[in-house]
Amino acid sequence: MKGSAGSARAVGASARSTLVVAFAIAAIVFVLDQLSKLWAENTLEHNVAQPLVGDILKLRLIYNSGAAFGFGGSITPIITGVQIGIALAVVVVLVRSVRSRAWMVSLALLLGGALGNIVDRLFRAPGPLTGHVVDFLELPHWPIFNVADIAVTTGAVLLVVLTLFNVPLDPREKSEVRA
């Protein structure tokens, strides 16, 4: 009995530390995203390309009412609602299920990026739920994006890889299945 109580405390501490790290990563992504958007708005001229790395990466400030490639500009409140729902679902999964470091990083990146764009949708013009997202990084033949988009994309790719390789949310699941 004594050993199982100690084991339960260790699992609880591990879960808490995983959550702390996850929320720290999400917070760092969020802050970097918001600071970079502030910088872009104070430094760049609207819709004027400035080469950063030759023709490979340019800076171009735009305000995006839609999703990637500008799709959905007429349904911005729905996009905002979906983003909020995804962010809440990620928090629930992080709190209830995730003990794997890889899953934690994936979901933390998704959460931080989603929050960065949600804040734009809630607090930028033209108004709550319809705010436009600040985008400023441009690659050839690709929609203009921001730091939040990089985090969401990276988190989503990692999520797909973890799923394809059947990495469990909780590493203990693997040992329980084999036993």
Residue 149 bears catalytic tag: yes
Catalytic residue among 33, 55, 120, 135: 135
Q: Which strand ranges, in their side-by-side order, compose the sheet holding 57-64?
A: 50-53, 57-64, 133-138
Q: Is 109 within 8 Å of 94 (Cβ atoms)?
A: no
Rounded Cα–Cα distance for residues 51 and 56 (Å): 8
Catalytic residue among 33, 120, 149, 170: 149
Please name the helix (run of DSSP H) or strand (run of DSSP E) that holds residue 173, with its range, or none.
Answer: helix 172-178
Within 8 A by CB and 6+ apart from 153, the residues are: 113
Q: Which of 142, 125, 31 is nearest to 134 (CA)?
A: 125
Residue 135 bears catalytic tag: yes
Say what angle helices 147-164 and 2-43 make with each other, to 10 degrees.
140
Residue linked to tokens 């260790």: 10
Rounded Cα–Cα distance for residues 54 and 48 (Å): 15
Catalogue the active-site residues.
Answer: 135, 149
